[in-house]
Amino acid sequence: MINLVTLLALEGHQLGVCCINVAELYAGLNPEERPRGERLIASLDYYDTTRNVATLAGNYQYDFARRGTTLTPPQMP
């Protein structure tokens, strides 16, 4: 994932994260990868998430799951 984000940034895309993205990144990093992950997170814009946005994301996950599609936060609209 870090390589993909780095490539997108090099291509000029404006990238950012919210609390969910940060938590998921750290949940998947082993201790050796954490310094690289910290540099990545520090290089991105940070967007606060509201309760309404979190509720909407949960509703999307629920609705898509009932149709047989599992969404992860990076796939959500």
Residue of 47, 12, 9 whose CA lies nearest to 57: 47
Per-residue pLDDT band for 19 (boundaries 50, 70, 90) equals: confident
What residues does each domain of the chain span?
A: 1-46, 48-77
Res. 25: pLDDT tops 80:
yes
Q: What is the pLDDT of residue 11?
A: 93
Query: What's the predicted TM-score (pTM) here?
Result: 0.60
Q: What is the pLDDT of residue 76?
A: 47
Q: What is the pLDDT of residue 73?
A: 57
Per-residue pLDDT tens for 33-72?
999 889 988 988 999 989 998 898 889 889 989 999 887 6
